[in-house]
Amino acid sequence: MHLITARTQLSPNVTRLDVVAPRIAEIRQSGQFVIVRRAAGAERIPLTIADADRAKGTIALVIQAVGKSTRELVALQPGASIQDISGPLGRPTELISAGRALCIGGGVGTAVVHPIAQGLHGNGVGVVSVIGGRSREWVIFEEELRRLGEVRVCTDDGSYGRKGFVTDVARDVLAEGGIDVVYAVGPVPMMRAVVNLTRPLNVRTVVSLNPVMVDGTGMCGGCRVNVGGETRFACVDGPEFDGLLVDFDLLSDRLGTYRSHEQLALSRHDEACRIGLKS
């Protein structure tokens, strides 16, 4: 059992849980994730290790409450426990060790960018982060990223920072020159748009993919993606890949495969809450 020591609401539907997991906190590396099972029989949810505190033996999980299982997870309060946390899983980020990196975080993807920026900063790399959200209250991890380098913020509606998408700001940073590598994490259309920016400039671009995962060990095939014409499993070969080679059409299609099942589960969950069978 993993005790929840803190719960922070980061944006209207994004919650941070700090959870006791000392072994994972000790050995995790940038880009790695865990698979969480709230209780026996609950769904297995892959979550990036957004941060870790070795001294306290805790890891930070950032959860966007979009379905039944994620809503149940974020309903947990400090003092409650999560039954299983498996990890760290996945290949660590291939971090450069000198130069300047552009880290782009769209919405909740900013929490995934944070450990990458931490690793780069630790290597002495100059970090410029471009982060964005729909409006001010959807911008997350700004303060944490400011500790690691320069941060430029934008919002879709202009309520905070520059008005526009992260790609609008990233275009300017790239035009200024001196960027050796781009790391981009967020919704699929965002990562595709970043790659459309960097491809003509021939700048190495790493994206983190979030296909459906089940076992997280390369056995079920659920997280299949196509990179450079080859089938890869995001859980063991990724989750980070060369963005210039990713088949984003296939990724979008596969992410939609279980949408009707997810909606049905969510409406049943909401109905159970409404009639008082669940809180």
In the list 42, 65, 214, 255, the residue contacting ligand FES (rule: CB under 6 A) is 214
Residue 233 pairs in a beta bridge with 224
Task: Report the SS3 class of residue 2.
Answer: strand
Nearer to ligand NAD, 37 or 134 (CB): 134
CA distances from 50 to 59, 98, 144, 192 (A): 7, 23, 11, 23
- Taking CB under 6 A as the rule, does residue 94 contact ligand NAD? no
Number of residues that bind ligand FES (CB under 6 A): 12
- Count Cβ neighbours within 10 Å for each residue of 113-142 and write b for 16 or more, e otherwise: bbbbbbbbbeeebbbbbbbbbeeeebbbbb
Q: Report the residue closest to ligand NAD, judged by CB.
A: 107
Binds 166, which of ligand FES, ligand NAD, none (CB < 5 to 8 A, cut-off by type)? ligand NAD
- Count Cβ neighbours within 10 Å for each residue of 61-70 and write b for 16 or more, e otherwise: bbbbbebbbb
Number of residues that bind ligand NAD (CB under 6 A): 22
In the list 117, 128, 213, 246, the residue contacting ligand FES (rule: CB under 6 A) is 213
Task: Report the SS3 class of residue 240.
Answer: strand
Task: Report the SS3 class of residue 67.
Answer: coil
Task: Find the binding residues for ligand NAD in span 96-155 (CB under 6 A).
Answer: 106-109, 112, 132-134, 138
Compute the least distance from the CB of residue 149 to ligand NAD, in Å: 19
Binds 233, which of ligand NAD, ligand FES, none (CB < 5 to 8 A, cut-off by type)? ligand FES
Nearest CA-CA partner of 240 in 216, 213, 203, 206: 206
- Taking CB under 6 A as the rule, does residue 235 contact ligand FES? yes
**Which of these segments, 68-76, 145-153, 218-226, 256-264, binds ligand FES (CB under 6 A)?**
218-226
x-or-dash pattern for ligand NAD, window 186-215, by CB under 6 A?
Answer: xx-xx--x--------------xxx-----
Nearer to ligand NAD, 20 or 207 (CB): 207
Binds 112, which of ligand NAD, ligand FES, none (CB < 5 to 8 A, cut-off by type)? ligand NAD
Pairing verdict, β 84-89 and 33-37: antiparallel
In the list 215, 242, 247, 262, the residue contacting ligand FES (rule: CB under 6 A) is 215
CB 51 within 8 A of CB 107: no
Task: Give the integer Cα–Cα distance in Å for 51 and 140.
Answer: 13
* Residue whose pair of structure tokens reads 């690691």 in the numeric block: 148
Q: Which residues contact 196 (CB under 8 A, 6 or more apart)?
A: none
Question: What is the binding site for ligand NAD (CB under 6 A)?
Answer: 106-109, 112, 132-134, 138, 156, 165-167, 185-187, 189-190, 193, 208-210
Question: What is the binding site for ligand FES (CB under 6 A)?
Answer: 213-216, 218-223, 233, 235
